[in-house]
């Protein structure tokens, strides 16, 4: 039995459903993930539905905790527009182990490719191949032992990503431990044939040579004493 909705849960979000609906065709291939052993045909939650629901929760003021997420699935507009059904806390908790989170990566490149530049016509030709590659630290929970950073008491994930400067949209991305190598991330994320822009943390002569051999042009800040 679902508990009564709190005041923050009763209002439908004023935005978000339309944005998530645009992404649903990209999420459709996730429908069969985690259903390999299904025989009864009574699964309450599929991966594409769970993904749509979590994206929609970014627009809802009540979706700030795992216990709040089941209540957002009772809202009529989301059920109608996104095909998200009323879902229990147990089903949402189980989803973390049933649905492979790395498959979200397959959504990123085609989504970024849909971005269109909003710049004067004279500029796109020069900026089209430019890709910015950088990483950002994201605070992690204490129990996330894989996310060690600096010391045993620190947990953080690093989110290296490649962004098309002209389109201002994602090209590629990954998640590593907080002490993950930015140089290794650049080697993996930078597309060949482009023009990469990276910061000083990626400076490494071996990576410079590897990018040059692709071939790929790049601009990178280096240490003051670099030869």
pLDDT in tens, 82-105: 677 777 888 887 887 888 888 888
What pLDDT does residue 60 have? 67
31-83 residue pLDDT tens: 888 887 777 766 778 888 888 877 877 776 655 666 767 777 777 776 777 67
124-168 residue pLDDT tens: 666 778 899 999 998 888 888 888 888 877 899 999 999 988 888
Enter the DSSP assignment of 217. E
Q: What's the alpha-carbon Rg for the chain, to the nearest Å?
A: 21
178, pLDDT greater than 50: yes
Q: What whole-number distance in Å separates Cα of residue 131 and Cα of residue 135? A: 13
What pLDDT does residue 213 have? 92
What pLDDT does residue 122 have? 58
What pLDDT does residue 107 have? 83
Task: Give pTM, 2 decimals.
Answer: 0.69
Enter the DSSP assignment of 33. T
Share of the chain above pLDDT 90, in %: 15
16, pLDDT greater than 80: no
13, pLDDT greater than 70: no
Whether the CB-CB separation of 11 and 63 falls below 8 Å is answered with no
Confidence of residue 197 (pLDDT cuts 50, 70, 90): very high
Name 222's Cβ contacts closer than 8 Å, sequence gap at least 6. Answer: 200, 203
Confidence of residue 224 (pLDDT cuts 50, 70, 90): confident
5, pLDDT greater than 60: no
Whether the CB-CB separation of 54 and 40 falls below 8 Å is answered with no
């Amino acid at each position: 039995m679902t508990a009564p909705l709190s005041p923050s849960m009763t209002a439908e979000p004023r935005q978000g459903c339309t944005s998530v609906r645009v992404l649903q065709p990209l999420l459709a291939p996730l429908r069969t993930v985690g259903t390999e052993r299904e025989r009864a045909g009574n699964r309450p939650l599929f991966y594409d539905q769970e993904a749509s629901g979590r994206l929609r929760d970014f627009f809802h003021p009540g979706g700030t905790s795992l216990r709040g997420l089941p209540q957002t699935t009772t809202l009529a507009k989301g059920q109608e527009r996104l095909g998200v059904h009323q879902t229990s806390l147990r089903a949402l908790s189980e989803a973390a182990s049933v649905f492979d989170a790395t498959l979200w990566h397959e959504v990123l490149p085609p989504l970024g490719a849909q971005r269109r530049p909003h710049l004067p016509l004279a500029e796109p030709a020069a900026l089209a191949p430019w890709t910015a590659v950088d990483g950002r630290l994201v605070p992690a929970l204490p129990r996330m032992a894989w996310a060690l950073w600096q010391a045993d008491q620190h947990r953080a994930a690093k989110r290296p990503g490649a962004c098309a400067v002209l389109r201002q949209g994602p090209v590629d991305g990954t998640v590593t431990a907080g002490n993950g190598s930015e140089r290794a991330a650049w080697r993996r994320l930078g597309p060949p044939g482009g023009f990469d822009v990276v910061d000083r943390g990626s400076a490494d002569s071996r990576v410079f040579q590897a990018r040059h051999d692709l071939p790929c042009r790049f601009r990178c800040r280096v240490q003051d004493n670099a030869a």
